[in-house]
């Protein structure tokens, strides 16, 4: 009789553990931690993040969204800079890295090339359908689409929700704009 009770309790415990694991696995939110400085000053190294994996099932991807994605086997957090069908203009410099040029600045950059010839060149990138162009907020210190190109949308894990722990240890979640 005691063995049956113990066996029933252990089965119940295992069932509860399995149900808990399934609930965690299938819920739309995941926790993440920022590693690196590529999103400073918006996100800090070591900052806790909440990622909504279902957000884009109900909302369109927008320029400026901060997303988590998988690129070359690494999980990254970046900002959406350009959407499918848009053009990104880069100033390519072998020594200093690539810089993004806003469309209204292109004429000024071309004039400066004419006045002072340089080894830099302008590269135009068309973001293909089903892809996005991602940038880190820290400029040239970030490894982003300037290095690995546009990212297929199916590699996006979800939208980042910023989590901050206040002095009362409450987690405040606000959607990043």
Say which of 9, 10, 78, 138 is annotated catalytic.
78
Q: Which two tokens stand for residue 174?
A: 């606000």
Q: Does residue 138 have an active-site annotation?
A: no
- Report the DSSP beta bridge partners of residue 60: none
**Catalytic hit among 38, 68, 142, 145:** 38
38 is catalytic: yes
User: SS3 of 176, please?
Assistant: coil
Cα distances (angstroms) measured from residue 75 to each of 29, 67, 70 = 15, 10, 4
Q: What is the largest CA-CA distance in the chain?
A: 94
Asked if omega into 112 is within 30° of 0 (cis), the reply is: no
Query: In the structure encoding, which two tokens stand for residue 170, read together?
Result: 């409450």
How is residue 42 annotated by DSSP? T
Catalytic residue positions?
38, 78
């Amino acid at each position: 009789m005691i063995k049956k009770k113990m066996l029933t309790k252990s089965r119940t415990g295992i069932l509860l553990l399995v149900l808990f694991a399934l609930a965690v696995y299938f819920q739309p939110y995941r926790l993440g931690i920022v590693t690196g400085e590529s999103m400073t000053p918006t996100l800090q190294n070591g900052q806790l993040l909440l990622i909504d994996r279902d957000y884009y099932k109900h909302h369109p991807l927008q320029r400026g969204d901060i997303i988590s994605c998988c690129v070359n086997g690494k999980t990254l957090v970046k900002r959406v800079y350009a959407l499918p069908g848009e053009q990104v203009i880069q100033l390519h410099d072998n020594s200093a890295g690539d810089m993004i040029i806003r469309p209204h600045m292109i004429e000024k950059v071309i004039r400066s090339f004419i006045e002072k010839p340089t080894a830099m060149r302008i590269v135009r990138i068309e973001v293909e359908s089903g892809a996005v162009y991602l940038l880190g907020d820290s400029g040239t210190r970030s490894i982003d689409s300037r290095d690995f190109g546009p990212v297929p949308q199916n590699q996006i894990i979800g939208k980042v929700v910023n989590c901050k722990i206040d002095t009362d240890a409450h987690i405040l979640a606000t959607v990043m704009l």
